[in-house]
Each structure stands twice: as C-alpha cells, then as structure tokens.
C-alpha cells in the first residue's frame, strides 16, 4: 500500500490551465535568469575553474582523452559540455558556455516551481522559481557568475527530487547519477530521494539502477580505472586540513555570511518554520542537510560549493512564506530582490586583479613562443594556456595536483610527497618526451615554489635559464634556444579574437 501524500490533496488542473500557467510564468523566469546572469558576460573569464575547463575542452576537441591527456578531480559531464559548446560556437570565448549556464539556472528554477506548485499551489510555484533566481547569485561573483560544475549540477539534483516526488524512482536515480557526473557531491541528493521513494513505497532497485547507469556509461566512455581514480580514490590528501584549520574555518564562515546576506529576507521565516510542522517539507530539510554535508566535503568551503544549498533553501522559504500575511510575504520578496540587486552590482563592478595578471603572463608567453610549441605554466592559473593559445607541456594543468596545494591552505601538507600518487613520475616522462619551450614560474612565493620541489628545481637548473620576469612570474627558456615571436590560438594557428576575450 502506498503511503499517504505529503500534502493535502488539491484539485488537478486541466491541460489548458497548466499550459496557461507556464505560458505566463516561463517568460518571467527566463527574463529573470538572463538579468541575474548579465555580469557573467562582462569579462572573458571569472575563475580558474572556467580556465581549466576551457583548456580541457580544447584538448578533448583535438583528440585528447580525459583522465589521460588531461586530468582533473572531477567527473566528465561539464568538460563534455564545454567541448560541445566550443564545437558549435568556437573556442575564442566562453559566451556559448555562459548561455548554457543561463539555461541551467532557468531549468533549475522551472523544476523548483513545478515542485512547489504540486505541493502548495500556483502561487507557491511562482514564488519558488523567482526566489531561487534571486538568491542564485548571492555569493562572490567569482563563485556565482562562473559557468562551473555546481551550476550544471543543480538542474540534475532538482530533477531527481522532482522525479522522486512523482514516484518515478528510475528517472530519479538517472537524474542523481547525472548530478554526480557534473560533480561528485551532486550524489548527496540520493539521500532525500531515497527517503521520498521509501515514503511512496517505491523500491530502491530501480533507483539504484537508474543512478548507476549514467555513471557506468561515463566510466566506459572514458577509462574505467582512470575514472575511478580521479573521481573517487585519488584525492586522499586533498581533504586533509593539516595546519590550515583557522583559514578554512574563516572561509567557511565568510562564505556562509555572504550567502546569509543574499537570503536575509528569507532566513527569518525559514527559521521560525523550524518550530512548526509544515506539510511537504521533511524531505526538503533532509535535502538541505545532505547539501550542507556536501559543502563540507573536502573541508575547503569554497564559495561555489554553497550553490548546492540554494534549491532546498528556495523551497523551504516558499513553504514558510505561504503561511504569512500578504504584507510580510511581499516584504520578504522585496528584501530578497534588493539583495539580488546588490550582488548584481557587485558582479558588474568586481575587480579583476588575478584575471589581468593571468592575461599579462599569457601574453608574454605567446610573444616568446611559436604556435604549436609547448609551455609549462607553473602555478594555479590554467586559464593562461587558453589566453596564450599554447599547448600544455603536461596533463597536469596546475601545480595543485602535483603538490596538494589549494587556495587558502598553508604549506604544511604541500610538496612532491603530497601530490597525486604517481604524478611526478608521469610529469618527468612527459617533460622528457616533449620539453616545454618556456617554463613560467608563477608561484610568487607560494608553498609550491620550485625551490621547495627538488624535481622541478633540478629540471630548471639543468636545462633552462632565466630570461625575464613579468608581473612577478619568472620566465625560463631552454638553454641555448632562440626566440621568435608567435601568436595564435592553441592548438591551431588561428588568430585570437581579442575583442571576444574582453
């Protein structure tokens, strides 16, 4: 026997009523999604994750293999999306990917609106969709406006809850598996999905089969051993705090505080709702708890991790607001809209110091090398390869994978011995087979500087000589090599569209 519905039964709307509802709501949500993402188009790149994905997509488009030619601690879905966008619109800018991000945010809002409408009525559906888009940019613009993993994960997590709410365990599992393929923490949605399916009497077998299908398919489409290593087993030291507890705690509290500002109009009614049982919210609280657990995974607390909290927050706020007087509901939405305007302004006016640094370093590398020559940017700015239009000398696009360095951590657990297992052996082989024409040490005093890494220090002293410096980055050329200015986009020789790069 099926469990009783989560909320009181309502009259089922006719097909015409449903069509009219969405005909009115979709244009509103689409306009709001576009408006909140305007800052994302205002600069060529927002953070190193976008640069990493752009370089990955370029390598994949020209015969590279994920987890072999280029590697990262992430599943393959988002690199594949970047590759597809570049195949359609070209790789000179991220405009096509930014459009996909707008569509992803719109899809998330629509799914949340549908969930809320099914439980609490037409007005709740509109509220949920609008609230989600208003708070979707409520973080540092580098985290909220970038077209990175969480943005493409959220429609899948929302779809998993939507399917589970409609007693479709197979489809819910499929959506959860796709969320995992966007980012591993997307799999946390399986906890509330499993609760919903159990409440509805749906068996876990179809749920498990649905979740496993896309994950196994992705593993077979890449390299099963590499997929398992890079997405699950190969990141042991990455989650270790070492001596960085205070910086990590500071980042966690700072980003939580920034998000609290974005949700200032919603948090009071949501917190008050904790004292009162609301129908149709138990699974949402479980979703929020599972998402909060996902945010803590790895103990890094980067701002974009917090995006995973937004869908359940929007639905819980909708449930809380619907019981309030109209005046108080309007005030909460107005405060949220004002906070959204604040973050929108921040996004348009945000400084671009690190972006400008990466551009200057990349331009220098492009001037000192020919198209087709390999270079090594030793630092945490993989976007430099994309800006310079040069082929990476190694599959490791940042020093992080080789040294375990991550932003905000101190140097306690940073060095060759803490890098990904076997990475230095692979690096030595790659640099021996294809010596880079230019090495750019962009460590600038960080714990992964070459003088702290015996292998890299020996390589530079034996085969390279210092030839200059730009913006704090030190340039090394192969000893005795001549220089010819070059330009063009890696890996082809097409001219760079500087206008599209901003």
Give the whole-angstrom CA distance, residue 258 versus residue 500: 31
Q: Per residue in 386-419, pLDDT tens? A: 999 999 999 999 999 999 888 666 667 889 998 9
pLDDT of the residue at 409: 64
Evaluate if residue 127 carries a pLDDT over 70.
yes
64-90: average pLDDT = 95
Cα gap 183→349, rounded to integer Å: 29
- State residue 14's pLDDT score: 64
pLDDT for position 191: 97
Residue 399 near residue 443 (C-beta atoms within 8 A): yes
- Sign for the CA dihedral angle at 458, 463, 466, 469 comes to negative
Query: What is the average per-residue pLDDT within 32-40?
Result: 98
- 472 CB contacts (<8 Å, ≥6 apart)? 357, 442, 444
Asked whether residue 370 carries a pLDDT value surpassing 70, the answer given is yes
pLDDT at 190 over 70: yes
CA distance 90 to 80: 14
Return the pLDDT at 201. 80
Residue for token pair 């704090």: 472
Q: What does the mean pLDDT of the chain come to?
A: 89
Answer whether residue 123 shows pLDDT above 80: yes
Per-residue burial over 60-79, b if 16 or more Cβ lie within 10 Å, else e, is beeebebbeebbbbbbbbbb
Decide: helix, strand or coil at residue 67.
coil
Q: pLDDT confidence of 182, banded at 50, 70, 90?
A: very high
Of the pLDDT bands very low, low, confident and very high (cuts 50, 70, 90), residue 203 is confident
**pLDDT-derived band at 17, boundaries 50, 70, 90:** low
Kindly report which listed range (7-21, 63-77, 262-276, 393-407) carries the lowest average pLDDT score.
7-21
The strand order across the sheet containing 438-441 reads 391-392, 374-378, 438-441, 473-478, 464-470
What per-residue confidence (pLDDT) applies to 313? 97
pLDDT tens for 313-341 read 999 999 999 988 999 999 999 999 999 99
Tracing tokens 């097909």 back to the chain, one arrives at 15
Q: What is the pLDDT of residues 140-179, one digit of tens each?
A: 999 999 999 999 999 999 999 999 999 999 999 999 999 9
Banded pLDDT at 273 (limits 50, 70, 90): confident
CA 304/CA 284 separation, integer angstroms: 21
pLDDT value of position 24: 95
Query: Span 279-306, mean pLDDT?
Result: 91
Q: What is the pLDDT of residue 486?
A: 36
What is the value of pTM for the model shown?
A: 0.90
Q: Are 248 and 241 in contact (CB under 8 A)?
A: yes
């Amino acid at each position: 026997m099926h469990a009783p519905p989560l909320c009181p039964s309502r009259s089922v709307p006719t097909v015409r009523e449903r069509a009219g509802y969405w005909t009115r709501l979709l244009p509103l949500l689409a306009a709001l999604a576009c408006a909140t993402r305007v800052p994302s188009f205002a600069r060529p790149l927002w953070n190193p994750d976008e640069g990493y994905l752009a370089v990955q997509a370029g390598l994949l488009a020209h015969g590279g293999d994920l987890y072999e030619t280029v590697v990262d601690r992430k599943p393959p879905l988002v690199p594949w999306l970047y590759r597809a966008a570049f195949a359609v619109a070209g790789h000179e800018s991220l405009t096509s990917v930014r459009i996909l991000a707008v569509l992803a945010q719109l899809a998330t809002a629509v799914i949340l609106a549908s969930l809320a409408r099914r439980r609490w009525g037409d007005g709740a559906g509109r509220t949920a969709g609008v609230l989600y888009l208003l708070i979707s940019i409520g973080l540092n613009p580098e985290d909220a406006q970038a077209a990175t993993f969480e943005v493409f994960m959220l429609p899948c997590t929302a779809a998993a809850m939507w399917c589970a709410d409609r007693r479709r365990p197979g489809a819910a599992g499929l959506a959860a598996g796709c969320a995992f393929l966007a980012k591993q923490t997307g799999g946390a949605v399986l906890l509330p999905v499993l609760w919903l399916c159990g409440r509805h009497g749906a068996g876990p077998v179809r749920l498990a089969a649905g979740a496993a299908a896309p994950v196994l398919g992705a593993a077979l489409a890449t390299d099963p051993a590499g997929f398992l290593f890079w997405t699950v087993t190969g990141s042991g030291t990455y989650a270790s705090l070492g001596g960085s507890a205070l910086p990590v705690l500071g980042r966690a509290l700072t980003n939580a505080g920034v998000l609290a500002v974005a949700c200032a109009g919603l948090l009071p009614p949501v917190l008050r709702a904790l004292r009162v049982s609301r129908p149709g919210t138990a699974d949402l609280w479980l979703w929020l708890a599972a998402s909060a657990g996902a945010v803590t995974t790895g103990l890094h607390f980067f701002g974009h991790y917090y995006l995973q909290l937004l869908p359940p927050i929007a639905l819980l706020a909708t449930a809380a607001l619907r019981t309030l007087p109209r005046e108080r509901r309007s005030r909460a939405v107005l405060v949220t809209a004002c906070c959204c305007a604040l973050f929108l302004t921040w996004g348009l006016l945000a400084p671009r110091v690190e972006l400008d640094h990466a551009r200057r370093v990349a331009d220098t590398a492009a001037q000192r090398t020919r198209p087709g020559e390999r270079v090594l940017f030793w630092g945490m700015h993989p976007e430099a390869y994309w800006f310079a239009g040069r082929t990476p000398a190694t599959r490791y696009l940042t020093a992080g994978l080789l040294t375990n360095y991550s932003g905000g951590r101190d140097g306690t657990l940073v060095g060759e011995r803490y890098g990904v297992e076997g990475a230095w052996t692979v690096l030595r082989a790659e640099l021996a087979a294809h010596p880079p024409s230019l090495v750019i040490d962009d460590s600038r005093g960080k714990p992964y500087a070459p003088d702290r890494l015996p292998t890299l220090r020996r390589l530079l002293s034996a085969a390279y000589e210092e030839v200059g410096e730009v913006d704090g980055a030190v340039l090394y050329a192969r000893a005795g090599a001549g220089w010819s200015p070059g330009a063009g986009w890696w890996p082809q020789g097409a001219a760079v569209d500087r206008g599209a790069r901003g």
